[in-house]
């Protein structure tokens, strides 16, 4: 995954997106993959939460149908996306469009299949409304990242440091179960991933100019770009669900 990084060297102010049809086509390819990935994830989340034979393989439910925990298979599925990413970092040193595409869809499928937990834990109305809020925020933030002349490199570095702190705080709270800390983690998580949506959009824009028309490299960049924006969307949605969602 050496081509998948959060740094770039082309100045944001030098890239005139308004007249570059190639850039628009490149970004459209990224957004199309993100949109299809989200639709697939939603379908898999519904399937794993609405069909009892599948649900019983992944989740432990109370007699009244509320989520009580995870089976061994459900636990493995929850951590499968992280495992896939970690393995790919070592196994995919020189990815091709085909292998990077496989990586993207594998992560989308495993995240989607494990997202039934949100449908089981929260009311359908709150899941739907939070998804709409996330989609609207994603669109606005990505548009800003695409059009701004401001270089977001320093901002992105700050967000990555914050992301490391967020992960550490989340690990600590897995054992301490502090409601106040959980609330802070959710607020910070929303802010960090909102910022990463804008930053990653600009990073993709700069990546297009760096690749200089290399079609194979752009195929890889499209898949990795879709992955980064997809993960930003999913994480933003999950933090917003924890803040806004109504539990069953």
What are the structural domain ranges in the chain? 17-244
Q: Which two tokens stand for residue 135?
A: 């989609």
Q: Is the pTM of this model over 0.85?
A: yes
Answer yes or no: is pLDDT of 4 > 50: no
* pLDDT recorded at residue 188: 96
What mean pLDDT is predicted for residues 105-124? 93
User: What does the mean pLDDT of the chain come to?
Assistant: 89
- The mean per-residue pLDDT over the stretch 75-86 comes to 92
Instruction: For residues 44 and 39, give the distance between their C-alpha atoms in angstroms, rounded to a whole number.
Output: 9
Alpha-carbon span 148 to 152, nearest angstrom: 9
For residue 93, what is the DSSP state?
S
Q: What is the H or E stretch that residue 61 is in? A: strand 59-61
Q: Count the Cβ atoms, other than its own, within 10 Å of residue 29.
A: 17
Instruction: Look up residue 8 and give its two tokens.
Output: 């770039």
């Amino acid at each position: 995954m050496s081509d998948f990084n959060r740094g770039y060297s082309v100045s944001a102010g030098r890239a005139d997106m308004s007249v570059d049809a190639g850039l628009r086509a490149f970004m459209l390819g990224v957004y199309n993959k993100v949109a299809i990935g989200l639709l697939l994830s939603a379908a898999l989340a519904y399937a794993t939460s609405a069909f009892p034979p599948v649900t019983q393989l992944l989740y432990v439910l109370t007699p009244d149908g509320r989520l009580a925990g995870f089976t061994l298979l459900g636990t493995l599925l929850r951590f499968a996306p992280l495992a896939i990413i970690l393995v790919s970092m070592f196994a995919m040193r020189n990815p091709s469009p085909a292998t990077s595409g496989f990586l993207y869809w594998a992560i989308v499928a495993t995240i989607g299949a494990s997202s039934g937990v949100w449908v089981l834990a929260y009311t359908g109305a709150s899941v739907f409304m939070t998804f709409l809020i996330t989609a609207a925020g994603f669109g606005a933030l990505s548009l800003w990242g695409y059009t701004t002349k401001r270089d977001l490199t320093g901002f992105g570095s700050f967000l990555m440091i914050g992301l490391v702190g967020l992960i550490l705080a989340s690990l600590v709270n897995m054992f301490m179960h502090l409601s106040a800390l959980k609330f802070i983690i959710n607020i910070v998580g929303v802010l960090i991933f909102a910022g990463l949506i804008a930053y990653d959009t600009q990073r993709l824009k700069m990546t297009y100019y760096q690749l200089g028309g290399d079609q194979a490299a752009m195929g890889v960049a499209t898949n990795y770009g879709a992955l980064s924006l997809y993960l930003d969307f999913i994480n933003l949605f999950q933090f917003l669900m924890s803040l806004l969602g109504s539990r069953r």
